[in-house]
């Protein structure tokens, strides 16, 4: 896969994560955030699911997503620095560190295996990650 489709997918996911963080901060329930994001960029939930897994984002769709996500034209095509961790991410990282430090090497291996399995599952086509 060339770099542009990967970059566009990564940036589209970053837009979704920012959308989800904002929605959760505003008290919205996590259920339905994928559909709400798809609606906000005027694509079907099915298309959003395909984009997350493997469908390339063409030029026309990239510009559509950028317009509806209030980004400048070409934003999806440019690398962006990762955002600083949100308060929810910081809380999770602190909890993970506490769990890591509270266990022995067997427990750490189990934690590592569990996290690796979660990350792998999140990248499978058709998976529902938030």
pLDDT at residue 123 in the model: 58
Burial (CB < 10 A; 0-12, 13-18, 19+), residue 62, is buried
What's the pLDDT tens digit per position in 86-126? 787 788 889 989 999 999 999 999 999 998 888 777 655 44
Q: Is the pTM of this model over 0.85?
A: no
What's the pLDDT tens digit per position in 55-94? 999 999 999 999 999 999 999 999 987 767 778 778 888 9
pLDDT at residue 21 in the model: 87
């Amino acid at each position: 896969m060339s770099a542009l489709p990967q970059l566009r997918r990564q940036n589209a996911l970053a837009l979704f994560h920012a959308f989800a963080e904002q929605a959760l901060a505003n008290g919205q329930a996590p259920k339905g955030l994928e559909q709400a994001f798809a609606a906000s960029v005027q694509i079907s939930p099915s298309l959003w699911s395909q984009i997350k897994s493997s469908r390339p984002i063409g030029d026309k769709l990239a510009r559509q997503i950028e317009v509806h996500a209030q980004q400048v034209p070409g934003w999806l095509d440019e690398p962006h620095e990762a955002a600083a961790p949100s308060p929810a991410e910081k809380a999770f990282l602190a909890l993970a560190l506490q769990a890591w430090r509270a266990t022995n090497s067997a427990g750490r291996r189990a934690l590592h295996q569990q996290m690796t399995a979660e990350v792998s599952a999140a990248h499978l086509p058709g998976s529902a990650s938030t």
